[in-house]
Structure 1
Amino acid sequence: MTVQSINPTAVVRGARRIPRRRRVLVAGGLGAALFGLFALRVLAGDYIITLPDFFRILGGEEIPGATFILMESKLPRAVLGVLAGLAFGVAGAIFQSTLRNPLASPDMLGISLGASASAVFAIVVLSLNGSALSVAGIVGAVLTAVVIRLVAGSDGGYRLVLVGVTAAAGLVAVIQYLFTRANEYDAQLALRWMTGSLNSASWPTIRILFVALVILLPLVAWTVKSQRVLELGPDVATALGVTHRYADLLLLLAVLLCALAVAATGPVAFVAFVAGPIARVLNGGRTTILGAALVGAVVMVGADYVAAYGFPDTNLPVGVVTGAFGAPFLLWLLASGRAGRR
């Protein structure tokens, strides 16, 4: 009886082929789910648009009633939901993998609250609105991230998370103080913006966010190899030639993605937080930026459909639905021990 020799190269290739095949299947499944939800959000609802009418309207034909509803409400909300979901998902996955903590996300570290505090200040004190309000949100998110990074130092990790949580608590106090100074109209406007909504989706906003994603996402793809090394820990990463500057670059890209999405939709709760863990579970415990991006888009579009049609005679902001979904998910993550021993 002869023993066949084992080819180590074939074994390694086979081991690599299995997770690669799973990533492709997960990405394909999530893409199909996103396509189905997108079609449901655009074609179904209170006003049903048939598929032939959809393509006729896109071709430039004017159909009374249907053209306005599709081009000014249904389609822009769905497109903005996809783009913002992609941005939130990628940002959350970068934070969690780079800091090696599933609780690290723009929601938890105060980045979104920094945008909210800046926007509320712009509304209450400066009486700004429109695009100026979006710029204020971006500036607030970026400044908050810079301050947190400077205070946390170069250690990163759990120190950065703790500083971020502390900053978030302080920003909540700032927002509450600003609300005490606001009149009724400004308070309603600020509260509506802070909840996160796709109700004000417009094509100019979509174009800006689309161009930003076209610029930023290739940069994320270019640095993703460094991200995988950073997940091994700072000592191993330094030994392999990946310094903390790569981590800073990744976090900067994540902050910009989150800030731009918040500027377009408001701080939609928990999308950035849940996208990464869900994608990792689907991918067998491995981090996948593409999977997190698709999960974020699926959550945004699906939550917006539920917010619009899931409750009779009520059109909720999408942030209410994602918050209701994300809070139990956070409790489950903590209870199951997936947040780590610390």
Structure 2
Amino acid sequence: MINTQTIHIIKAERRQRQRRWLLVNSLLVMLGLVLCSTMLLLGNTIYSIDVVIRTLMGESIDGASFAINTIRLPRMLAGLLAGFAFGIAGNVFQTMLRNPLANPEILGITAGSSAAALFCILVLQTSNAVVSMSSLVAGLVTVMLIYGFARIGTFSTGRLILIGISFQAMLGAFISYLQLIGRQEDLSAALRWLSGSLNGSQLDAVIPLLIGIAICAPIVIGLSRHLSILELGDQAAVALGLNTNVTRILLIVSSVCMIALATSVTGPIAFVAFLAGPIAKRLIGGSSSSVIPAGLLGMNLVLGADLLGQFAFGTRFPVGIITGVLGAPFLLFLLIQMNRRGNL
């Protein structure tokens, strides 16, 4: 009798978690649709929904066609895709390394992609395709070096984070050097890109990011259960029959590809990869997979922050400045929480 009651309780709790997961994702999708629509409607000229729909369907309307198809649509897609990529990738590293501070920014992965992209922009002055490819390769090389150094001796999450911080500092110095030697006429664009910006987004730059997410995101989502097992630790994961090395490599490569491609399009948008995962876990509860909610939350953070940066103040700010202002207090709150729990 007790066993039957226990099974019913477990099933009821599982159904409740599933309903909560679906509710949170549905609300995040609806919020994303509202933000996407708002980005297409608002600007120097406010267009009606009817005009936006007709323009997107291919009808040529004076003024509206250029503003919507050439400026607002690429900007919206860049924010949507980059936010989704940063959110998922940040959640993967935080969950896999069992530390909310272990996001791509602190680990130096974003800095590696940024340094390569900036080198192509300021020194080589290459096309967007070369910038994307170099950013991708540099991100992968950076994470391999960090992981390789962390494997020397006894591997630990703390050791990996410290090595990542060291790489971030080194690459940050290289980025500063590139700004010093870059041409004066290129510096304003480079600084705007470094702050994380959707300004000047173009469809030809967004397409590689879309393809990368279409390939990598399903891999990460498909391995989300394995990711939850990795969170238990390597010994527990191996005992449950998981091939930890293959799973970790697939997750890392897929995440770094998305981070690098997103960084090549929008620049390093501050704190999105850091914020999305912890907030998503609080929304859905700790026992459900937070991969998709983190991606949706990252998408909404970037879109919402860009709208605030464009219209909430007298001066227009890049999206990275707004996310930085939002993320800094959350980082302090998280550090205080971790310190109280004895995790620092």
Tell me if TM exceeds 0.5: yes
Matched residue, 1:184: 184
Cα separation, 1, equivalents of 2:159 and 2:64: 53
Which 10-residue stretch deviates more, 274-283 or 39-48? 39-48
2:124 is paired with a residue of what secondary structure?
A: coil
Q: Deviations over 1:74-93 (max 9, x none)?
A: 12211221111111110000
**Post-superposition offset of 1:4:** 9.0
Q: Deviations over 1:209-238 (max 9, x none)?
A: 212211111111221111010011111112
Matched positions, count:
339
On the 8 A contact 1:101/1:340 being kept in 2, the answer is no
Which 10-residue stretch deviates more, 120-129 or 161-170? 120-129
Letter in 2 for 1:165: I
Cα separation, 1, equivalents of 2:15 and 2:159: 37
Which 10-residue stretch deviates more, 194-203 or 152-161? 152-161
On the 8 A contact 1:99/1:158 being kept in 2, the answer is no
Cα separation, 2, equivalents of 1:5 and 1:88: 43
TM-score using structure 1 length: 0.93
Letter in 2 for 1:15: E
Cα separation, 2, equivalents of 1:181 and 1:5: 71
Which 10-residue stretch deviates more, 263-272 or 241-250? 241-250
2:280 is the alignment partner of 1:279 = yes
Letter in 2 for 1:317: P
Q: Deviations over 1:44-81 (max 9, x none)?
A: 34311111112211222111111111111112211221
Q: Deviations over 1:183-220 (max 9, x none)?
A: 32233332222111111211222222212211111111
TM-score using structure 2 length: 0.92
In percent, how many aligned pairs have the same letter? 39
Matched residue, 2:28: 30
Which 10-residue stretch deviates more, 278-287 or 142-151? 278-287
Q: Structure 1 segments of 4 or more deviating over 4 A?
A: 3-6
On the 8 A contact 1:119/1:190 being kept in 2, the answer is no
Letter in 2 for 1:172: G
On the 8 A contact 1:114/1:137 being kept in 2, the answer is yes
Residues 4 and 115 of structure 1: is their aligned pair in 2 closer, same or farther, counting only changes over 3 Å? closer
Matched residue, 2:62: 64
Matched residue, 2:261: 260
Matching of residues 38-49 of structure 1 within 5 Å: 38-49=36-47
Q: Deviations over 1:157-205 (max 9, x none)?
A: 2221111111111111222223332332233332222111111211222
2:314 is the alignment partner of 1:316 = no
Residues 75 and 150 of structure 1: is their aligned pair in 2 closer, same or farther, counting only changes over 3 Å? same
What are structure 2's unaligned runs of at least 5 residues?
A: none
Cα separation, 1, equivalents of 2:215 and 2:327: 29
**Post-superposition offset of 1:8:** 3.3
On the 8 A contact 2:90/2:104 being kept in 1, the answer is yes
Q: CA RMSD in A?
A: 2.0
Residues 340 and 116 of structure 1: is their aligned pair in 2 closer, same or farther, counting only changes over 3 Å? farther
Cα separation, 1, equivalents of 2:174 and 2:164: 15
What are structure 1's unaligned runs of at least 5 residues?
A: none
Which 10-residue stretch deviates more, 125-134 or 303-312? 125-134
Which 10-residue stretch deviates more, 17-26 or 239-248? 239-248
Matched residue, 1:304: 306
Letter in 2 for 1:341: N
**Post-superposition offset of 1:129:** 4.7
Matched residue, 1:198: 198
